[in-house]
Structure 1
Amino acid sequence: MANMGDMGDMGDRGANGLGGGAGLLAFRIDLPFDKEKPQVWRKDKDGAWGWKEDPAIDLEVLPPDLTVTWTPRDWSARWFAWAIMGDFATQTAWKSITLTPYPVAAAEVTAELQLLFRAAQDERPDAMGEIVAQNQDYEDCMAFFMALLRISANSHPRTCGLMHVAGLIGLLTAMHFKNAPGSQPQRPRPSQLHPALLPAIEVPGHPAFPSGHATQAMLMALIVEQALPAERRTKLAPYLHTLAGRIARNREIAGLHYKSDTTGGLELAAKVFELLGSVESYADALKLAQGEWA
């Protein structure tokens, strides 16, 4: 099970290969690269290959006629997603989203509770690997979508960037509605009311409704579906949506959420997705991602 937990590290792929540098590089202090003699590997007039020095080049500076500008590809996926989330956050429509209220009638709550106890008994031991692997961060969930699609941050950087967008905006909106301004009270976790559930992992320090994992996972599924070509979209949508539902349900099996928490998260994801198209930076990022699947 510990080895299964290592799958969560795969989420880091979502940020790899997309920064402005190459990571940690060794540097020879007695002969820095910029002090090397500029040379090229060329054929001579007799057709033999060899080194030829180019004294006109200075490795300390770029040629004056080479213009360097910041381009979309220079953004790391995670930081570009933050920029898009900032644009989304300035909109006001998403704060007016209404969610189906979670049940408060005793009979309905009891019915949901029975489902949780049954899942804990029948499914939790087998689901623990996935529960742990998907627990820490939205990038843990990204790893499962990337494996499903057989992509990486190197092969499809902009598509991975959209999953970062889903993770961040899903977090923003879920936390807003967990705070429940002007609506239902903030919902206690199931184990607060029913300690015998004994959740399999640490209970997050925020209210239960709506489920953040459900919001983020389904928003990932909807956004990636939108990036796919029409023929692939039809075929892969059931895989994407089913995976999102599985990630969300794992949180119920773990004892962290009622089923209605999951439903609220899925509903929130759908309504947020409908508003994303009005965000210009998101529309631009979507076009770049769609180009990766051409």
Structure 2
Amino acid sequence: MLAAKYDVKDFDHFVPKRFDPKNLHPDLFIHAKLKDILPAVFKDDDHYRSLLGDLLSARLVKDDLDQALSDRDEVLRDFGAEIRDQADSFHHYFYNVLSLHPMTHPKTAQLISLGTIVAGSVGMHCKLLFERARPVQYWPGLLPVLPTPPHPSFPSNHATQAYTVAFLIADALGSPMDRGIGQYLASLADRIAVNREKAGVHFWSDSEAGRRLAQDVKDQLMAIPFVRDDLLAVCCEELADFATPAKSS
């Protein structure tokens, strides 16, 4: 037996004095912080009804279905591989746009995980609040290219998560969403959201609801000291090449 041959003290040189957070997957790092983050982010249900309720209408459903069916063969030929690649995690798309790796940009990677995990939680709450059916449940002939998730459609969590990440990073860098790196982050979020519509698993109005909800989630996150003073501040340092220079007074 190993224990009979060696004394515990013989293993002391194997025991680290501390665990470097950079070696922890950014998703796991954020999961450890959720008990303090989520209570500060969630609002009451009336808030979400006021924010998103106008997007739920029979007219929008018809318009959304018409849009989803438009040029479908061409869309799937051109975007099918990307749609499937983004079906689960899409962190790597933000990594690519920003030329980063979690080991070289740990706080930025954690910020991306923060946006996806927290926005996903708020988005799922709203899904169960509104309980909108999926496009294929309105129009079975749509034939989605991905398995339709067995939970409500509205809002799109891919949209909520992607826009939340884009808004957080753009704010950290002082970049507007229509210029500089902000426009590329916004374009990526748009593309991730629209790909879910092209796949046949979301309506346009699901994506728009996700964009609105993302702005709301971002505003709540920005008020949390850990997010503002730790993640966002260091993210700006890690991505200094993308930061918008401060205007001189």
Give the SS at the match of 2:104.
coil
Alignment of 1:235 with 2:180, yes or no, is: yes
Q: Equivalent residue for 1:111?
A: 63
How far 1:68 moved relative to its partner? 4.2
Q: Does 1:88 align with 2:40?
A: no
Q: Which residue of 2 aligns with 1:144?
A: 93
User: What is the CA–CA distance in structure 2 between the aligned matches of 1:189 and 1:272, rounded to whole Å?
Assistant: 24
- State the AA in 1 paired with 2:109: C
Aligned match of 1:280 in 220, 225, 229?
225
Contact preservation (8 Å) 1:84, 1:282:
no
> Shift of the alpha carbon at 1:146?
0.7
| Count of residues paired in the alignment | 226
Label 1:252 to 1:230 Cα distance change in 2 as closer, same or farther (>3 A).
closer
Pairwise CA distance, 1:88: 2.1
Please state if 1:290 is matched with 2:242. no
In the superposition, relative to structure 1, how do residues 193 and 111 fare at CA in structure 2: closer, same or farther (>3 Å)?
same
- The CA deviation at 1:279 is 1.7
Aligned residues of 2:22 and 2:103 also touching (Cα < 8 A): no
Identify if the C-alpha distance between structure 1 residues 275 and 78 changes in structure 2 by more than 3 Å, giving closer, same or farther.
Answer: same
Partner of 1:244: 189
Q: What are the equivalent positions in structure 2 for 1:1-294 lying under 5 Å apart?
A: 60-61=11-12, 68=17, 73=22, 75-91=24-40, 93-95=42-44, 96-97=47-48, 98-101=50-53, 102-105=55-58, 107-136=59-88, 140-180=89-129, 185-228=130-173, 234-283=179-228, 284-294=230-240
- Could you say if the C-alpha distance between residues 254 and 273 of structure 1 is closer, same or farther in structure 2, counting changes exceeding 3 Å? same
Shift of 1:291: 2.6
More helix by share: 2
What is the distance in 1 between the residues matched to 2:181 and 2:33? Answer: 26
Indicate if the aligned counterparts of 2:60 and 2:205 stay in contact, CA closer than 8 A: no
TM-score, length of structure 2 as denominator length: 0.81
Query: In 1, distance between residues paired with 2:41 and 2:29?
Result: 21
Give structure 2 stretches of 5+ with no counterpart: 3-8, 241-249
Amino acid at match of 2:77: P
Q: For the Cα contact (< 8 Å) 2:157–2:210, is it kept in 1?
A: yes
CA contact (8 A) 2:22 2:102 kept: no
How does the TM-score come out when normalised to structure 1?
0.69
Aligned-residue identity in percent? 30
Give 4+ residue runs of structure 1 displaced > 6 Å after superposition: none
TM-superposed CA distance for 1:69, in Å, is 5.2
**Alpha-carbon distance, 1:228 to partner:** 2.8
